[in-house]
């Protein structure tokens, strides 16, 4: 990677003076958030009190963590001696790995040196609405040459993603990991690696509607799909039938191609924590590690009762933390394969220190990619009850029954209840309500559905993104309306979002 200096100045900002208003003042120093957004933040509700308290604690903990993220065109290596130009944060791909302690205050100055507007979204963190980074919904997009300061408390602890939320920029590489460390981990571990999985294009992203796929005229959709299925045959069990999927050049781990995998060093006896982030713009992945089982400890950053599996599958926007017991010396492949056809699996290599082996044992791919025990949503049982992520129980005050569909004809896009965002009314709720959302997927591909600004209960897990399986798959989640504002709820497959699979969930205090 072409690494550029990671600009970071620590502790230069003025200290917070007032508890809550001052935080917002600080946030407003480069651009005034709209008064509507401010009202949404200062709600006086339960969330607001908790947030105010967190601000106070952060104040006592010293100056905020200052980070500058510069969105700019830059060069990345895409193979031996080959480079491509794309858009990155600070010239890094993935972007700088952000890491904070729970409760620290983070101030990120986004500087836009791109040729178009941009924003940053803090995927999974229930930030105040004005800090959520959705263009036209929570803020005016940041124009070329301008800056914007995101200012919020990093809480609760967990594994998160940050990424551009403007247009198709996510698929150019404007993304990174954000880890908020807990004071006391739910499971002890000896070392840790953060693995960012991404699907990489060979060129700039194009909306599905421009790619001519799914159109009924000219080279027909069926023909295109048949071609693609022929091409993908033999690569995976289930060919992709989603006309919105671009032709990805590769699946990557931490920006590295399968031929040049990152090495994860471990010592025999270590408990190794792996933070797995699916930051693909499209691809649902199946992850497994040869020679080892994985114990799932966190789903979307929230601690769960330990469950041991051979593999797990996750969609765009989902994260899992797993523990691996290093009890099998040698060199082993960790791989993530597309569930739907496409390029060959992303690869990392686990290398035991002192191992005499020079290449991965047992062939190249982990057995868990094709068989074994796969994590199911039903396996996940949340083990915490904190202020930030209360379990959602009891009878709902509001129920939404939503149908997810689309894909056969791109003219109609991808829809929620037949409506194509932004031509779709917001889901209006009220502060304090317990809201249940039931989703039925009438399309032929899965949809990782993400709600901004809240954790939700899905089964007995607490998550912020849940994948609704294809072909009449159903998922239900419930959340407490405790963080007023306009919150995007959408499919995290970028080309589905872009083609309308989104709604705004709206409530005031």
- Residue numbers at the binding site for ligand C2O (CB under 6 A): 121, 123, 161, 163, 165, 317, 450, 452, 488, 490, 492
Closest listed residue to residue 188, CA positions, set 262, 269, 253: 269
The beta strand positions in 414-494, using DSSP E, are 414-416, 427-428, 434-441, 447-451, 456-458, 461-463, 465-468, 473-480, 485-491
Between 257 and 320, whose beta carbon lies closer to ligand C2O?
320
Dihedral, CA of residue 231, residue 233, residue 235 and residue 239, to nearest 10: 100
For Cu ion, the binding residues in 427-456 under the rule CB under 5 A are 447
Q: Which residue is nearest to ligand C2O (CB)?
A: 123
For Cu ion, the binding residues in 305-324 under the rule CB under 5 A are none
Smallest separation (angstroms) from ligand C2O to the CB of 497? 7
User: Rounded to an integer, what distance in angstroms lies between the CA atom of residue 432 and that of residue 415?
Assistant: 28
Q: Are the beta carbons of 149 and 111 closer than 8 angstroms?
A: no
Q: From the list Cu ion, ligand C2O, none, pick the one residue 503 interacts with, judged by a Cβ distance below 5 to 8 Å according to partner type.
A: none
User: With contacts defined by CB under 5 A, how many residues of the chain interact with Cu ion?
Assistant: 4
Between 164 and 476, whose beta carbon lies closer to ligand C2O?
164
Smallest separation (angstroms) from ligand C2O to the CB of 463? 13
Burial category of 152 from C-beta neighbours within 10 Å (exposed 0-12, middle 13-18, buried 19 and up):
buried
Smallest separation (angstroms) from Cu ion to the CB of 196? 21
Smallest separation (angstroms) from ligand C2O to the CB of 161? 6
Helix (H, G, I), strand (E, B) or coil at 351: strand
Q: From the list Cu ion, ligand C2O, none, pick the one residue 496 interacts with, judged by a Cβ distance below 5 to 8 Å according to partner type.
A: Cu ion
User: Rounded to an integer, what distance in angstroms lies between the CA atom of residue 314 and that of residue 494?
Assistant: 15
User: Rounded to an integer, what distance in angstroms lies between the CA atom of residue 260 and that of residue 349?
Assistant: 10
Q: From the list ligand C2O, Cu ion, none, pick the one residue 155 interacts with, judged by a Cβ distance below 5 to 8 Å according to partner type.
A: none
Question: Which long-range CB contacts under 8 A does 36-42 form with residues at least 24 apart?
Answer: 37/129, 37/130, 37/138, 37/139, 37/485, 38/130, 39/508, 39/509, 40/128, 40/129, 40/130, 40/484, 40/485, 40/486, 40/508, 40/509, 41/128, 41/129, 41/130, 41/484, 41/485, 42/509
Q: From the list Cu ion, ligand C2O, none, pick the one residue 450 interacts with, judged by a Cβ distance below 5 to 8 Å according to partner type.
A: ligand C2O
Smallest separation (angstroms) from ligand C2O to the CB of 277? 11
Contact flags string 478-497 toward Cu ion, x per CB under 5 A: -------------x-x--x-
Q: From the list Cu ion, ligand C2O, none, pick the one residue 121 interacts with, judged by a Cβ distance below 5 to 8 Å according to partner type.
A: ligand C2O
Smallest separation (angstroms) from Cu ion to the CB of 447? 3
Q: From the list ligand C2O, Cu ion, none, pick the one residue 302 interacts with, judged by a Cβ distance below 5 to 8 Å according to partner type.
A: none
Q: From the list Cu ion, ligand C2O, none, pick the one residue 492 interacts with, judged by a Cβ distance below 5 to 8 Å according to partner type.
A: ligand C2O
For Cu ion, the binding residues in 113-172 under the rule CB under 5 A are none
Helix (H) or strand (E) holding 7: none
Contact flags string 388-427 toward Cu ion, x per CB under 5 A: ----------------------------------------
Closest listed residue to residue 376, CA positions, set 286, 489, 279, 246: 286
User: Rounded to an integer, what distance in angstroms lies between the CA atom of residue 455 and that of residue 433?
Assistant: 14
Q: Are the beta carbons of 302 and 455 closer than 8 angstroms?
A: yes
- The distance of Cα 214 from the centroid of its chain, to the nearest Å, equals 27
Smallest separation (angstroms) from ligand C2O to the CB of 404? 16
- Residue 457 corresponds to which tokens in the numbers above? 């209960």
Between 160 and 257, whose beta carbon lies closer to ligand C2O?
160
Smallest separation (angstroms) from Cu ion to the CB of 244? 8
Q: From the list ligand C2O, Cu ion, none, pick the one residue 488 interacts with, judged by a Cβ distance below 5 to 8 Å according to partner type.
A: ligand C2O
Smallest separation (angstroms) from Cu ion to the CB of 177? 23
Between 236 and 483, whose beta carbon lies closer to ligand C2O?
483
- Tell me how far CA of residue 418 lies from CA of 75, 472, 495, in angstroms: 41, 15, 17
Residue ranges in contact with Cu ion by CB under 5 A: 447, 491, 493, 496
């Amino acid at each position: 990677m072409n690494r550029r200096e990671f600009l970071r100045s620590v502790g230069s900002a003025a200290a917070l003076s007032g508890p809550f208003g001052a935080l917002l003042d600080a946030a407003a120093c480069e651009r005034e958030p709209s008064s509507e957004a401010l009202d949404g933040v200062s709600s006086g509700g339960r969330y607001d009190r908790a947030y105010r308290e967190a601000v106070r604690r952060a104040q006592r903990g010293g100056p905020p963590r200052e980070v500058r993220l510069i969105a700019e065109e830059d060069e990345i290596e895409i193979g031996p001696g080959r480079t491509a130009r794309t858009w990155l944060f600070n010239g890094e791909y993935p972007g700088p790995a952000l890491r904070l302690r729970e409760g620290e205050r983070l101030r990120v100055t986004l500087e836009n040196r791109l040729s178009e507007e941009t924003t940053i979204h803090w995927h999974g963190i229930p930030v105040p609405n004005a800090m959520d980074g959705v263009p036209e919904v929570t803020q005016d997009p940041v124009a070329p040459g301008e800056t914007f300061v995101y200012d919020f408390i990093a809480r609760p602890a967990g594994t998160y993603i940050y990424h551009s939320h403007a247009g198709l920029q996510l698929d150019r590489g404007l993304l990174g990991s954000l880890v908020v460390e807990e004071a006391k981990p739910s499971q002890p571990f000896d070392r840790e690696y953060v693995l960012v999985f991404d699907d990489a294009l060979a060129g700039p992203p194009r909306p599905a509607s421009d790619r001519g796929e799914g159109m009924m005229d000219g080279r027909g959709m069926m023909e295109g799909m048949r071609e693609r299925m022929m091409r993908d045959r033999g690569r995976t069990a289930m060919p992709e039938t989603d006309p919105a999927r671009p032709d990805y050049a590769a699946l990557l781990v931490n920006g590295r191609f399968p031929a040049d995998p990152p090495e994860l060093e471990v010592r025999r006896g270590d408990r190794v924590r792996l933070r797995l982030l699916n930051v693909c713009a499209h691809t649902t992945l199946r992850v497994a590690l040869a020679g080892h089982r994985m114990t799932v400890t966190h789903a979307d950053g929230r601690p769960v009762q330990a469950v041991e599996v051979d593999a797990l599958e996750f969609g765009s926007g989902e994260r899992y933390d797993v523990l691996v017991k290093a009890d099998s010396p040698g060199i082993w492949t960790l791989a993530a394969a597309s569930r739907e056809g496409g390029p060959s699996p992303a690869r990392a290599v686990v290398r035991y220190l002192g191992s005499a082996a020079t290449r991965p044992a047992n062939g190249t791919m982990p057995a868990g990619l094709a068989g074994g025990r796969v994590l199911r949503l039903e396996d996940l049982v949340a083990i915490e009850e904190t202020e930030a992520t209360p379990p959602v129980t009891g009878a709902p005050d509001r129920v939404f029954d939503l149908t997810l569909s689309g894909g056969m004809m791109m003219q109609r896009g991808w829809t929620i209840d037949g409506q194509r965002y932004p031509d779709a009314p917001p889901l209006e709720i009220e502060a304090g309500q317990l809201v249940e959302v039931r989703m039925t997927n009438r399309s032929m591909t899965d949809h990782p559905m993400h709600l901004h600004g809240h954790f939700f209960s899905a089964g007995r897990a607490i998550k912020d993104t849940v994948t609704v399986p294809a072909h009449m798959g159903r998922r239900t989640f419930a959340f407490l309306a405790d963080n007023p504002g306009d919150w995007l709820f959408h499919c995290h497959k970028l080309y589905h979002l872009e083609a309308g699979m989104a709604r705004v969930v709206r409530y005031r205090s």
